Amino acid sequence: MISCPKCGVSNPEESRFCRACGAPLPGASDGEGGGRRCPMCGAMNPPDSVVCERCQARLVPLIAEESATEAEEAPEAAPPQAAPFSAEISPPAEGEPDWLAELRATMEEAEEPGPEETPPVEEVEVPEWLTGSAPPAAPAETAEGEEEVPEWLQEVALYSAPAEEPSPPGGEGAAAPEPPSEAAPPGREETEVPDWLREVLPTESPPGEEEGPPEWLEAATPSEAPEWPAEGGEETALPRGDEGAVPFTEVPPEAAETAESAASEIPAWLREVEEAAAPPPLLLEEEAREEEGPPAAEESVESMPTWLLEEAAPAEAPAEEAGPEAPGVSKGGHVFTSEEGVPSLEPGEVPDWLKELAPPAEETPAAPPLEMEPEHFEGLVPAEIPDWLQALRPREEGEAAEEPVETEGLLEGLRGTLPPSPLIGAVEKAVAVPSVTTKPASVARAELFQELLTRPVISPRRVEKKPRGPMGLAIQRLVVGLLVLVAILAPMGGVWLPMEEGPGSAVPAVRADVQVAYDTIETRVDRGTPVLVAVEYGPGEAEEVDLVARALLQHVLDRGGRLIFVSTRPEGPALADRLASSLDGADEARTVNLGYQPGGASGVQGLLADLARRPIYPTGGPATEAAAMEGVTSAEDVGLIVVLGGQTEDLLAWIEQTSARYPDLPLVAGISARVEVSAQPYLERAGAGALRGMVVGLPGTAVYYDLRGVEDVHLPYYLQAMAMSQWVVAALMVVGMVVFLVVGGKGR
């Protein structure tokens, strides 16, 4: 048994620290071989080991490795590090709070059955993150005190378990390798505390200075502690924002009220526990320290390992989160308010076991807004934030709640949505559509077209040939043709119609027009008078017009005139030669054929203007060489124009061109009966008119011959054939009218 030189409690032979007060026991060596105990598996390693030989856990922190090396060089100079952890529980002093006394009594009752023993040492100085590495203590030893002791205090109590774990519960004696007592032999203290931890902890804690806080902790304590703990000690939660935080309400209010007076009486170990667990005790500690003297902060900082300084620096952020009144916060200093306040260590700088104990990163509260001293704002002018930037700033929930709620669409139910553009959905002015007036005819055509489109398609059917009636079309044609033929041939068979003979037999009107023509030739044509004859008919009209032409031209020749034949039709020159050959006295001296002049009305104009330039048909010689052309160069040199026409256009062209350019030049026409109606308007009436007179068809020719007093042997036959055929045709028309009016027809 080894008696603790400090408290006198008996400890097993192998103990390194006192199981009551935690003080190093004399004769305790640094482990069995003076090595290092693995914080993970508890195995002993040689003193110079860095990594556990059993579990490969790192025994010395990386940062503290150099310091540990230095410490190994002077191991004797380094006192045991148990000072902060083995604060002796002093007997209850006067004014001690009830909760503390109760706590002490509970500890003593649970851990030390012997009456002579001091209350069990609560090695609560180690913060929670550090105590987590220790094996849990036996349930039997802490079962009773767990409900009354705060959680942080329970964890601190469990720190002593490594020394107690091997020992059977309740056992005590020298034979036992590990007595149930929590105290360890002083000689083992150095072996249980790693070097790196030894560097972290105060370098030396003499027994006589146990009641004062270690220097390194004094340097870490805030120089200006907040006043809130002293003002009331009311129920206040630890301002860490961490659910795992130990509520300060577990501290009795009486303790806060009497903290200032009892600060000097609180043992060092309890003071350190309070510093590590809750700010109020630190405040008390600070006040008590102020009474003792100013802390040597700089020295303490210098004595701290570098890694701990780096770890302590970020602790300002969570400490400042509570504002300037955050307990345990020292302006510009380091903070060790609680285990939660310790920032996470950098990988590689701490052993794995310590890394696991570190609080999760997400639990670290966000940095509070930076608060600066008023003097820092001197000379600064608040910036004016433009509206557009104000609109972009994050909105508070309260502001968002003021925004209208979207009532429809995909964003239904959301607040603060952007309003739709005013242009979207705005009804524009309708474009004026010009009114279109639709004609009824167009509508009718459209309806017909629509009807045709909607009409069902009918496959074409073979049109059955209707049977002909009793009087088929061919029979009708045959009958009509035969009747006309019989009428034409009837005069040849001696069948004559009764016809008035003599000049009086002609129609009075026909007789008048023929009379004018006859008189014109009689008056205008003398011997050698050139007469321009326009042959403007074709072979189809030749049989009819030739009769008329012969009557007129023979009269001219009989009068001694000269005939100059021209034509605007290609077949005209040939007909002119044929006509001339049928006339008596039509020799080359009195007749000349100037051929065909193309161009229609322009050709007539050219003929009238340039008769002398025309070639002689068919030789092509110059017209001036012809005897009939003697003294004739243009229409002005002729005495009469006789137009023999069978087509309306040709007759009108000659009438119009002659009357326009040569108004005094008389024009007589011998035309077919089909052109009579077209020539009627140009006949001279009452001394006005371009056409002086005309002879129309067989009736006119008959009248003309009658006027001249000559007789044509063929003319009566022609007249009988014409009259007979006209009667037949007239009869067919009447019969057809009656038949189809009675029988009926297709109609319209």
Partner 1 sequence: MERFTKRILPTAIAVGAGVLTLLGYLFPVEPFITVRDEMVRWAVIVAAFAFILGFLNILRVHLGRLAGRGAGRGYSLVLIVTALVSLFVTSAGLAVDSARRMSDWWFGNVLYPLQAAAAGLVAIVLAFSAFRLLRHRRGVEVLFFLAAALIVLLGTIPLPGVLGTALATLRQWWMEVPAMAGMRGFLIGVGLGTLLVGLRVIVGIDRPHSDV
Using CB under 8 A as the binding rule, the residues of this chain from 539 to 558 that contact partner 1 are 539-543
Question: What 3-state class would DSSP assign to 94?
Answer: coil
Q: Token digits for 400?
A: 């968002």
Closer residue to partner 1 (CB): 309 or 486 = 486
Angle at 344 between CA 340 and CA 347, to 5 degrees: 155
- Contact segment (CB under 8 A) with partner 1 among 145-153, 277-285, 376-384, 672-680 equals 672-680
Q: Binding residue for partner 1 (CB under 8 A) from 252, 253, 538, 689?
A: 538
**Residue 669 DSSP label:** E
Cross-strand partners of 200: none
Measured from the CB of residue 735, what is the shortest distance to partner 1 in angstroms?
7
Is 681 a binding residue for partner 1 by CB under 8 A? The answer is yes
Nearest CA among 667, 613, 610, 619 for reference residue 644: 667
Question: In whole angstroms, what is the distance from residue 485 CA to residue 425 CA?
Answer: 91
Q: Is 49 left (phi over 0), alpha (psi -120 to 50) or beta?
A: beta
Closer residue to partner 1 (CB): 405 or 737 = 737
Closer residue to partner 1 (CB): 192 or 676 = 676
Q: Binding residue for partner 1 (CB under 8 A) from 33, 598, 621, 622?
A: 598
Is 740 a binding residue for partner 1 by CB under 8 A? The answer is yes
Nearest CA among 666, 718, 714, 670 for reference residue 696: 670
Question: In whole angstroms, what is the distance from residue 748 CA to residue 741 CA?
Answer: 13
What is the number of other CB atoms lying within 10 angstroms of the CB of residue 344? Answer: 17
Closer residue to partner 1 (CB): 9 or 510 = 510
Closer residue to partner 1 (CB): 69 or 726 = 726
Question: In whole angstroms, what is the distance from residue 95 CA to residue 445 CA?
Answer: 121
Question: In whole angstroms, what is the distance from residue 310 CA to residue 359 CA?
Answer: 16
Is 506 a binding residue for partner 1 by CB under 8 A? The answer is yes
Closer residue to partner 1 (CB): 121 or 724 = 724
Q: Binding residue for partner 1 (CB under 8 A) from 558, 673, 689, 712?
A: 673
Q: Which residues between 278 and 317 bind partner 1 (CB under 8 A)?
A: none
- Contact segment (CB under 8 A) with partner 1 among 190-198, 253-261, 379-387, 715-723 equals 715-723
Cross-strand partners of 668: 642, 693
Measured from the CB of residue 445, what is the shortest distance to partner 1 in angstroms?
26
Closer residue to partner 1 (CB): 176 or 488 = 488
Closer residue to partner 1 (CB): 393 or 748 = 748
Measured from the CB of residue 604, what is the shortest distance to partner 1 in angstroms?
10
Is 734 a binding residue for partner 1 by CB under 8 A? The answer is yes
Angle at 116 between CA 114 and CA 121, to 5 degrees: 80
Q: Binding residue for partner 1 (CB under 8 A) from 135, 416, 600, 689?
A: 600
Closer residue to partner 1 (CB): 166 or 570 = 570
Measured from the CB of residue 696, what is the shortest distance to partner 1 in angstroms?
9
Is 138 a binding residue for partner 1 by CB under 8 A? The answer is no
Measured from the CB of residue 678, what is the shortest distance to partner 1 in angstroms?
6
Helix (H) or strand (E) holding 535: strand 530-536
Closer residue to partner 1 (CB): 256 or 653 = 653
Is 702 a binding residue for partner 1 by CB under 8 A? The answer is yes
Question: What 3-state class would DSSP assign to 447?
Answer: helix
Q: Binding residue for partner 1 (CB under 8 A) from 135, 207, 368, 606?
A: 606
Is 729 a binding residue for partner 1 by CB under 8 A? The answer is yes
Measured from the CB of residue 410, what is the shortest distance to partner 1 in angstroms?
60
Crossing angle of helices 697-708/508-524, nearest 10°?
A: 50
Is 204 a binding residue for partner 1 by CB under 8 A? The answer is no
Strand duo 591-596 + 693-696: pairing: unpaired
Measured from the CB of residue 540, what is the shortest distance to partner 1 in angstroms?
4
Is 505 a binding residue for partner 1 by CB under 8 A? The answer is yes
How would you class 567 by CB atoms within 10 Å of its CB: exposed for 0-12, middle for 13-18, buried for 19 or more?
Answer: buried
Question: In whole angstroms, what is the distance from residue 655 CA to residue 490 CA?
Answer: 39
Measured from the CB of residue 454, what is the shortest distance to partner 1 in angstroms?
33
Closer residue to partner 1 (CB): 18 or 574 = 574
Helix (H) or strand (E) holding 356: helix 352-357
Closer residue to partner 1 (CB): 8 or 736 = 736
Q: Binding residue for partner 1 (CB under 8 A) from 260, 633, 680, 689?
A: 680
Is 609 a binding residue for partner 1 by CB under 8 A? The answer is yes
Closer residue to partner 1 (CB): 177 or 736 = 736
Is 726 a binding residue for partner 1 by CB under 8 A? The answer is yes
Closer residue to partner 1 (CB): 279 or 603 = 603
Measured from the CB of residue 714, what is the shortest distance to partner 1 in angstroms?
15
Tell me, what amino acid is at 195?
D
CB 89 within 8 A of CB 300: no
170: phi then psi, degrees, rounded to nearest 5: 80, -10
How would you class 186 by CB atoms within 10 Å of its CB: exposed for 0-12, middle for 13-18, buried for 19 or more?
Answer: buried
Measured from the CB of residue 601, what is the shortest distance to partner 1 in angstroms?
9
Q: Binding residue for partner 1 (CB under 8 A) from 367, 509, 627, 710?
A: 509
CB 617 within 8 A of CB 595: yes
Q: How long a stretch of residues is the chain?
A: 748
Is 56 a binding residue for partner 1 by CB under 8 A? The answer is no
Tell me, what amino acid is at 338?
S
What x/- string results for residues 640 through 669 when contact with partner 1 is judged by CB under 8 A? ------------x-------x---------
Give the count of residues interacting with partner 1 (CB under 8 A). Answer: 71
Measured from the CB of residue 739, what is the shortest distance to partner 1 in angstroms?
8
CB 681 within 8 A of CB 651: no
CB 592 within 8 A of CB 565: yes
- Contact segment (CB under 8 A) with partner 1 among 190-198, 269-277, 361-369, 676-684 equals 676-684
Q: Token digits for 128?
A: 């929670």
Measured from the CB of residue 467, what is the shortest distance to partner 1 in angstroms?
17
Is 624 a binding residue for partner 1 by CB under 8 A? The answer is no
Q: Token digits for 647?
A: 């087509």
Q: Token digits for 283?
A: 């405040």
Q: Binding residue for partner 1 (CB under 8 A) from 230, 358, 678, 708?
A: 678
Q: Say how far residue 49 (Cα) sits from the centre of its chain.
A: 70
Closer residue to partner 1 (CB): 175 or 686 = 686
Q: Which residues between 474 and 503 bind partner 1 (CB under 8 A)?
A: 476-477, 480-481, 483-484, 497-500
Most distant CA pair in the chain: distance in Å?
196
Measured from the CB of residue 519, what is the shortest distance to partner 1 in angstroms?
20
Q: Token digits for 87?
A: 């604060």
Q: Which residue reads 């009966």 in tokens?
A: 673
Closer residue to partner 1 (CB): 256 or 723 = 723
How would you class 5 by CB atoms within 10 Å of its CB: exposed for 0-12, middle for 13-18, buried for 19 or more?
Answer: middle
Closer residue to partner 1 (CB): 439 or 748 = 748
Nearest CA among 650, 659, 708, 727 for reference residue 688: 659
CB 496 within 8 A of CB 693: no
